[in-house]
Amino acid sequence: MNTSKDSCQWYFHNYSSSQWELEWYSNIEKLQNHICEILTQTSHSSKSIQLLQRVIDLNQNGYLPSTVAAAADNLLSRMYYRQQCVSASGEKYIRLEAYQLIEPLIGLLRDPLTICTFTNDFIKLIPKDLYIHGDEALFSKRHLLLTPAAPYAVINQNNFPKAELPQLTQPWTYKRSQIDDSKIIT
């Protein structure tokens, strides 16, 4: 398939939670009334710190598809996109699939560190570069993972020519479709 006469559009396909987000979701009854207490536990605070460092790095340095994935990328959730095409004969098919990383929903927000007041002992564990200069506040999601900096990967390429793959700008951010995907062949 895939001729120059085919009409193709990107659309959102599904959301996939990270393991860390699923851990919160699966235990929300137990965790929801103790969010700050849980977030100060080493297992969660180290994840929050890694995640924040990765988001800051991505926003400062930008993202290129050739960038090597970081271990902290596994803490991030994923948004999956598909490029659906319609051939000249009206047949629908999936041309490309891709995913883009997004902050996990941890605690109340996609912002696990800003909602809590921490003890001095806990604050000593947080790297100094995560503080706002001249302020006691953490950077936290004052550095949101903005779309242009968010890592993405194109998957299920079906022998697609590498030169035609998305490069610097994710096409699903500006070539979205309003199509009904209920009849798409998967």
Per-residue pLDDT, 66: 46
Q: What angle do CA 144, 15, 86 make, to 5 degrees?
A: 115
CB-CB neighbours of 158 under 10 Å: 11
User: Stretch 59-81: mean pLDDT, rounded?
Assistant: 74
Residues with Cβ < 8 Å from 129, sequence gap 6 or more?
53, 56
What is the residue-wise DSSP string for 123-143? HTTS-GGGBPTTSSSB-GGGS
Task: For CA atoms 36, 149, 74, 184, give the dihedral sign.
Answer: positive
Residues with Cβ < 8 Å from 85, sequence gap 6 or more?
1, 2, 6, 7, 8, 9, 92, 93, 94, 95
Which three-class secondary structure state does DSSP give residue 164?
Answer: helix
pLDDT over threshold 70, residue 121: yes
89-110 pLDDT tens trace: 999 998 888 888 888 887 666 6
Q: What is the pTM of this model?
A: 0.71
14-26 pLDDT tens trace: 999 999 999 989 9
Encoded tokens for 21: 């987000």
Structural element, H or E, at residue 122:
helix 120-123
Q: How far apart are CA 75 and CA 122, in angstroms?
A: 21
Per-residue pLDDT, 186: 41
Which three-class secondary structure state does DSSP give residue 23?
Answer: helix
